Amino acid sequence: MVNDAGGAGFKSKIQYESGLFTLRIKMPAKKTNGVITAFYLISDDQDAGVNHDEIDFEFIGTEGRLQTNIFANDRGGREQVFQLSFDPSEDFHTYQILYTPQRIVFFVDNIPIRSFKNNTMRGINFPTKSLWAEASLWISDSVVWAGAVDWGYAPFIVSFQDFNISGCPAGSNCLPSPDFSPWTRPKLGPKQLKLMSNFRKKHLTFDYCRSKGNKHRYPECA
């Protein structure tokens, strides 16, 4: 539960170099802007005053507006926003982040919705740090970004279940094996690529690469 004093959340006990991170979420039933429900991976550098890596799922408000973002070496701005076809407050849905040295993939109910390939050879920043897995519910202080909270509907309660990590703990030097195959597969298959393409055509409402000027700011948008 959260109020205007702040928010609440939880995190993994250790950091991971790569992995498949899974969480089932049921959103608050009260409809409002300004409330942010987040499931994300983050390095512990942010509060230390040095550059950090971060991979985000963020619900902006409680009406199925889902944003993804990627920070690499403290540089973000890679937002893509989707309007989900279902009401995420009616039941639990599964959200997953696949983080590997080759790529990052976001999944909703086992459907890939976004893939970000490691193209550091082209000068494109890519997360490389060990990351914590975290989830939180908080209030945005930016009305422009997330809208204003309707406190007449408070309290706002989000439910989490089946928090699961299949991955390589930091410093363990995991090698690819059948046990780790869910998160070491090198690329998406044809069926997954088709599912992702169809999902994006129907539900993608904002893409940073389509914003004016970003074709020059972000090499992957060119």
CA distance 93 to 66: 13
Of 58, 79, 134, 220, the active-site residue reads: 58
pTM of the model as a whole:
0.91
Give the up-direction half-sphere exposure of residue 57: CA atoms within 13 A in the CB hemisphere.
29
Tokens 């055509």 correspond to 201
Contact 96, 106 (CB under 8 A): yes
**Closest C-alpha to 52, from 77, 35, 76, 18:** 76
Cα–Cα distance measured from residue 148 to residue 132, given in angstroms and rounded to the nearest whole number:
29
pLDDT tens readout for residues 174-206: 765 555 555 555 678 899 999 999 999 999 999
Instruction: Let me know if 63 is a catalytic residue.
Output: no
Q: Work out how many domains the chain is built from and give that number.
A: 1
Tens digits of residue pLDDT in 200-211: 999 999 999 998
Q: What is the dihedral of CA 79, 113, 104, 213, to 10 degrees?
A: -30
Rg (CA), the chain: 17
Q: How far apart are CA 19 and CA 175, in angstroms?
A: 12
Three-state DSSP state, 45: coil
85 within domain boundaries = yes
With cut-offs at 50, 70 and 90, classify the pLDDT of residue 47. low
On whether residue 35 sits in a domain, the answer given is yes
Half-sphere exposure of 81 (CA within 13 A, CB side): 15
Q: What is the pLDDT of residues 122-159, one digit of tens each?
A: 889 999 999 999 999 988 776 667 888 888 988 889 99
Q: Residue 58: which pLDDT band, with cuts at 50, 70 and 90?
A: very high
> Tell me, what CATH number does 109's domain have?
2.60.120.200
To the query of whether residue 79 is one of the catalytic residues in this protein, the response is no
How far does CA 116 lie from the centroid of its chain? 12
What lies within 8 Å, CB to CB, of 212 at 6+ separation is: none
- The CA distance from 166 to 194, in Å, is 25
- pLDDT at site 4: 41
CB 20 within 8 A of CB 12: no
Catalytic residue among 17, 54, 79, 220: 54
Residue 3 counted as domain residue:
no
**Domain range holding 57?**
8-221
Residue 1 lies in a domain: no
Average pLDDT over residues 87-106: 95
Cα(42)–Cα(15) distance, integer angstroms? 9
